[in-house]
Amino acid sequence: MWRRVTSLSPVISTSKSTSFDQAASGFKIWRSSFSTETPTMVKDATTSFKERNPFITFVLGGPGSGKGTQCQKIVETFGFKHLSAGELLRREIESNSENWSQMLNTIKEGRIVPSEVTVRLIQQEMESSDNNKFLIDGFPRTEENRIAFEQLIGLEPNVVLFFDCSEEEMVKRVLNRNQGRVDDNIDTVKKRLKVFEILNLPVIDYYSKRGKLRKIDAVGTEDEIFEKVRPIFSACAGK
Ligand SMILES: Nc1ncnc2c1ncn2[C@@H]1O[C@H](COP(=O)(O)OP(=O)(O)O)[C@@H](O)[C@H]1O
Ligand SMILES: O=c1ccn([C@@H]2O[C@H](COP(=O)(O)OP(=O)(O)O)[C@@H](O)[C@H]2O)c(=O)[nH]1
Ligand SMILES: [Mg+2]
């Protein structure tokens, strides 16, 4: 029997700290290649980006909960710029960028790429965009991701969407996705669900306590779900 992830005990039983270590493991050497100092040029770009007063939405939910699908609809209706963290990482891998093989292995195992990498990619996309309304899809996936974004970008999201979906439905959707992704197989999906529960739910809880979370029941047709999403943006976009 599958249950909704928000009330689910781990699919593979390990302690929280063990799983966190698993999710973060393998990055010690990789991590050490990143400088902790922010170059002056980057600081200037970040300062001017903040002055643009962007509208930032984080879009969260387990694998297959429909984040990308609903982001597409939000883009069409409300004109946001869609940044999928997973897509940005996949693009990096395809372009054979530095650390591409570690990124690929991390994704294959359903673990989380170091924050510095992901935040840098998101930052580049936001700063080079003419659009000032952003949907950041599939990020932050961990508390560490969240804190890194706040520290490096110096901003918090205006709104956080959470697509709440049963595990049964998420597994079904991921296995039918047919996009040739290395992580859309049953073994990796189980790991991703576990990483979602242990590392992502605390982020969702954090934003819930700060009054920023908009939880959406993600079971139903794509259009039915979008009708629940629409009022959240109509309120701020005047549509
Ligand atoms: N409401 C829905 N009902 C059925 N299938 C859906 C629904 N929303 C999305 N899908 C399909 O499920 C798969 C996963 O959706 P996607 O938007 O990629 O999810 P996520 O980005 O959260 O992993 C895709 O093949 C998509 O077409
Ligand atoms: O901020 C992120 C976003 C994604 N990923 C990795 O990229 C994979 C695919 O993410 P995506 O958001 O594309 O998957 P989805 O939830 O949409 O199925 C994740 O399982 C992680 O391994 C990551 O490490 N950090
Ligand atoms: Mg997606």
pLDDT mean by block of 10 residues, the chain; 239 residues? 40 35 48 55 76 97 98 98 98 95 98 98 97 98 98 97 98 97 98 98 98 98 98 77
Burial class (CB in 10 A: 0-12, 13-18, 19+), 104: middle
Q: Is the ipTM of this complex over 0.95?
A: yes
pLDDT of residue 6: 45
Q: Which of 73, 136, 161, 173 for a ligand 1 pocket mutation test, highest count of atoms within 8 Å of Cβ?
A: 173
pLDDT of residue 19: 38
Q: How far is the CA of 163 from the centre of ligand 2 (A)?
A: 15
pLDDT of residue 14: 33
The set of protein residues with a Cβ atom below 6 angstroms from ligand 1 is 61, 63-69, 173, 176-177, 220-222, 225
User: Are 108 and 137 a contacting pair, CB within 8 Å?
Assistant: no
pLDDT of residue 4: 52
pLDDT of residue 31: 57
* pTM score of the predicted model: 0.88
141 Cβ inside 6 Å of ligand 2? yes
pLDDT of residue 151: 96
The fourth-level CATH superfamily of domain 39-237 is P-loop containing nucleotide triphosphate hydrolases (3.40.50.300)
Can you give the residue ranges of every domain in the chain? Answer: 39-237
- Mention every residue, 6+ apart, whose C-beta is less than 8 A from residue 175: 184, 185, 186, 189
* Nearest bound ligand to the CA of residue 165: 1
Mark the residues whose beta carbon lies below 5 A from ion ligand 3: 67-68
User: Are 134 and 56 a contacting pair, CB within 8 Å?
Assistant: yes
pLDDT of residue 189: 98
